[in-house]
Chain A
């Protein structure tokens, strides 16, 4: 079917179903991706998007259903079979080897990699290949020192280098600035229109779907709930299909706070990353009571190091943190005294003990104080459980019991449990990092309104987020971090997406 000039491959699934034990992860999904189109796959976490594409790629064997490549029914038993049909996938986490250079990564990914590599001719061939490609990547640099955007481009280049003609991209723009995302999707769109490739893109950004995709398929709870041409659908239509009739908590309204005092005052903070290189430099920032300052930026520009410094997980090289005018050393005593709390990204990894119970995890801030402890060292499980039960009810944490290990909870519920722990007391300063990453709509709404509640109650909130929409929704002021520095600060009313995106890309 595919001729020489338009080598793009089309893929179709018919009644694809995948059952894991008692869980039906995917039911009766029939999607048709025409050759030379950009097809978007929408859905919340756990809607079955990755199950569907993994069935296509041969990572899973579907329980039922057929796979058609260019109209022919095929059986894909493993990723190698998928390779033979020119199907390729770019994962959300990178599958590049960090210590190898870009060129080495490309060569070693080839099935016919020569046993002794003639670098002179290989580099020549790679350069010739790159000249035909819409984007460029430095070949001789180790992947570990490439930027996230370059890595993402290299991942896609790798698929093209291996002559894959049907690409599945899993949230390809999550690590890019809005500008980079537009550039890359625009170039890919060009290749699609030229009939060189077909793209199936998993996304949750409506903006990108409406701007670049031809067709869309929406999954919800493992079922295909809608599909059609993008031009026939509005964002509201797509959002409704994704969410269904789930009740979403009303967003907490922003109350106006009268002029208030500075609570959190950061002066000339410097810290290094794990390699000893400067990670944050000369960070100056003030957060007032009743204010949310949102820190935007592409991941890896020092935001996580800043959060680690503020929560005592990384040493400060230089600089001063003042809270209410008192010098703040992030020790347990100072945090309790100055009422500093934090909600870290990936809480299961960063601020919870996975195998401890929900009740114990909820008590991590308070187990050394009454009523849980007597004279600071004797723990009383009764009050601990009682407090946990109350928090579980108040923050709607779905858990079988307070004794369940917290690692058994879903992502949204871990986040709620940690949030419950951090917000249960009186909060003066709240540090939040990517609080809604990978959560479903209901949890996102819940957590964002909790953060807004704290602001309205007069807490100073520092919100670090890679999701620009989240910052635009919550923040009173925006600061942009780029290469470890704060490159741009503006009140939310005096800025817009383009300006922030521009600052994120390092132009200012």
Chain B
């Protein structure tokens, strides 16, 4: 029994890291975009397109890292397109985001058909469990390098929001575009760049899906991670470090089902698999009250108006 418990805990730990990585990248991208005062719901589409691009380029080039880079570039092109369209007068960023989500997914399916069969080189894992003799521990400590990259991005974003000129400009644009304009900054340009960089991060998150876990390109690859990341950013109150914690929490919730199955508990498997969605719903209900506005929300966000 004790054995089973430690197996489950190890599996949840490993799963949390594995499942959280795409959440982490998408939510950091969304966090940056929303801090600048714009919301990009198209990240789900970018995620799927990034997964397809990453897989295809890894297959053709033979290097998964070039695939990750290509996925990021593809994501930033989508982000830039969103940013550019939203610069036009009377354009609603939420509507454009939904259109981008459908467009990105559809385009990925269209170009991705030939890549469902072949096998592309996958990202290597870092063997951090070399010190242990227990195979379960060694297995659980096989950690993907993108997880650490995401953690680094979270820390850098958190630091940059308070300690760099760019960070202050992004926060200013998101909170009071009138002030930003009065200081002579172009609000559209700042948001364009933030959306582009946000798209890059979401694209990298997509590459993780196809190149590490689950590790192949299929059309059902993303199960709404891109959209759940939006909820996650609200839960994290637009703080990159909290985004990291929230992503790990969501990842852990997503890992419960498979972990229980690994010790033979398959009762309620589908229920446990739905844990992240239930968690999203609960978090949205608990953290939002009709009586008060969200603290920490960028005031320019169209969601908040």
Query: Residues on B close to A: CB < 8 A?
Result: 162-166, 168-169, 171-172, 175-176, 178-179, 182-184, 289, 291-293, 295-296, 298-299
Contact = CB atoms under 8 A, between A and B. Distances in A.
A96 B292 contact: no
Contacts of B293: 274-275
Nearest to B162: A104
Query: Which 7 A-B pairs rank lowest in CB-CB distance, beginning with the nearest?
Result: A276-B292, A108-B168, A274-B293, A97-B172, A113-B165, A95-B179, A97-B175
Contacts of B291: 272, 274, 276, 315
Interface string A85-127: 0000000000111111000100111010111110100000000
A104 B164 CA distance: 10
B182 A97 contact: no
Contact of B184 (A79, A98, A114, A275): A79
Given A99-B298, A108-B183, A275-B292, A116 B163 contact: yes
B296 to A, nearest CB: 7
A275 B237 CA distance: 14
A177 B179 CA distance: 26
Contacts of A284: none
B165 A97 contact: no
Nearest to A93: B178
A109 B178 CA distance: 13
A386 B304 CA distance: 40
Contacts of B295: 275
A119 B292 contact: no
B182 A276 contact: no
8 contacts: A95-B182, A100-B168, A100-B175, A107-B168, A108-B168, A117-B168, A272-B291, A275-B295
Contact of A98 (B163, B176, B183, B292): B176
A117 B166 CA distance: 10
Contacts of B168: 100, 104, 107-108, 113, 117
A98 B165 contact: no
A107 B183 CA distance: 11
A95 B176 contact: yes
Which of B162, B168, B184 counts the most chain A CB atoms within 10 A?
B168
A109 B165 CA distance: 10
A274 B178 CA distance: 22
A273 interface: yes
Given A99-B175, A99-B296, A272-B291, A79 B166 contact: no
A80 interface: yes
Contacts of B184: 79-80, 111
Contact of A117 (B165, B182, B289): B165
Interface of A: 79-80, 95-100, 104, 107-109, 111, 113-117, 119, 272-276, 315
Contacts of A100: 168, 171-172, 175
B218 to A, nearest CB: 42
Nearest to A118: B163
A274 B165 contact: no
A113 B178 CA distance: 19
A276 B295 CA distance: 10
A147 to B, nearest CB: 18
Contacts of B182: 79, 95
B166 A115 contact: yes
B119 to A, nearest CB: 44
A97 B292 contact: no
B165 A115 contact: yes
A106 to B, nearest CB: 11
A108 B175 contact: no
Given A80-B184, A274-B292, A276-B289, A95 B178 contact: yes
Contacts of A96: 176, 179
Contacts of B162: 104
A280 B179 CA distance: 31
Contacts of A275: 292-293, 295
Contacts of B183: 108-109
A111 B172 CA distance: 15
A273 B291 CA distance: 8
Contact of B165 (A114, A119, A276): A114
Contact of A99 (B164, B165, B171): B171
A111 to B, nearest CB: 8
Given A98-B176, A99-B296, A114-B165, 18 more contacts: A79-B184, A80-B184, A96-B176, A96-B179, A97-B172, A97-B179, A100-B175, A104-B168, A108-B168, A109-B183, A111-B184, A113-B168, A117-B164, A273-B292, A274-B291, A274-B293, A275-B295, A315-B291
A98 B299 contact: yes
A466 B199 CA distance: 47
Contacts of B175: 97-100
Contacts of B179: 95-97
A277 to B, nearest CB: 8
Contacts of A115: 164-166
A419 B172 CA distance: 39
Nearest to B299: A98
Contacts of A116: 163-165
Contacts of A99: 171, 175, 296, 298-299
Contacts of A119: 163
B34 to A, nearest CB: 13
A206 to B, nearest CB: 30
B289 to A, nearest CB: 7
Contacts of A111: 184
B214 to A, nearest CB: 39
A99 to B, nearest CB: 5
Contacts of B292: 272-276
A117 B169 CA distance: 12
A111 B165 CA distance: 11
Contacts of A272: 291-292
A157 to B, nearest CB: 15
Nearest to A109: B183
Contacts of A97: 171-172, 175-176, 179
Nearest to B296: A99
Nearest to B160: A116
A200 to B, nearest CB: 18
Which of A99, A109, A116, A275 counts the most chain B CB atoms within 10 A?
A99
A108 B163 contact: no
Given A79-B182, A99-B296, A276-B291, A117 B176 contact: no
B190 to A, nearest CB: 12
